[in-house]
């Protein structure tokens, strides 16, 4: 018990935020990065992943059959996914395009659906107290998932901005 209390006091919690402390509305977006000198796309993606990890974010690389290249975790319930494409413009110049979109964890979706189902069942049976509290649980879970994914998208945008300036 003492170990658990110590970990909770010093920040080892599942709801801890990592990375950038800025928040944006978690909507799908497109970002771009211009290179005057040619760089291998794998190396660019590796640099982005390294910079994200250095900022404190939890980053996962996509597999061969995933529809995304990187996943940046914003918290327990939400993350951002990144897909990169490269346009060659001759003479070693490149335009890198990034598509970023929010993603929610299975746990968050399950919890929101469960709370919503309990709320609907409680309201239909006339149990107002249970219905209101489970509806509040639904709202809190959905709000947390939206917040987590907004932090993750902001982290990706800020890191790409740093790469563009360097």
Residue 18 lies in a domain: no
Residue 5 lies in a domain: no
Query: For the residues 107-122, what does the mean pLDDT come to?
Result: 95
Which residue from 54, 56, 52 is spatially nearest to 17, judged by alpha carbons? 56
Residue 7 lies in a domain: no
Which residue from 26, 18, 19 is spatially nearest to 149, judged by alpha carbons? 26
Residue 51 lies in a domain: yes
* Domain region containing 87: 25-165
Residue 157 lies in a domain: yes
Q: Which residues contact 40 (CB under 8 A, 6 or more apart)?
A: none
For residue 74, the number of C-alpha atoms closer than 13 Å in the C-beta half-sphere is 32
Q: Count structural domains, the chain.
A: 1
Report whether pLDDT(75) > 70: yes
pLDDT for 15 equals 61
Report whether pLDDT(156) > 90: yes
Residue 35 lies in a domain: yes
Which span out of 7-21, 52-66, 106-120 was modeled with the highest average pLDDT?
Answer: 106-120
Higher-scoring residue by pLDDT: 69, 15: 69
The reported pTM is: 0.85
């Amino acid at each position: 018990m003492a170990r658990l209390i110590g970990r909770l006091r010093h920040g080892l919690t599942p709801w801890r935020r990592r990375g950038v402390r800025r928040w944006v509305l978690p909507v799908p977006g497109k970002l771009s990065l211009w290179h005057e000198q040619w760089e291998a796309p794998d190396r660019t993606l590796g640099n982005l992943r390294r910079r994200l990890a250095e900022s404190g974010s939890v980053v996962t690389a996509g597999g061969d059959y995933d529809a995304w290249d990187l996943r940046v975790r914003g918290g327990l319930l939400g993350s951002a996914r990144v897909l990169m494409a490269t346009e060659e413009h001759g003479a070693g110049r490149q335009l890198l395009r990034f598509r970023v979109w929010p993603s929610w964890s299975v746990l968050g979706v399950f919890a929101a659906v469960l709370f919503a189902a309990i709320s609907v069942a409680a309201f239909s049976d006339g149990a107002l107290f249970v219905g209101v509290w489970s509806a509040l649980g639904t709202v809190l879970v959905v709000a947390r998932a939206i917040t987590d994914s907004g932090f993750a998208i902001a982290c990706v945008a800020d890191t790409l901005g740093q790469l563009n300036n360097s």
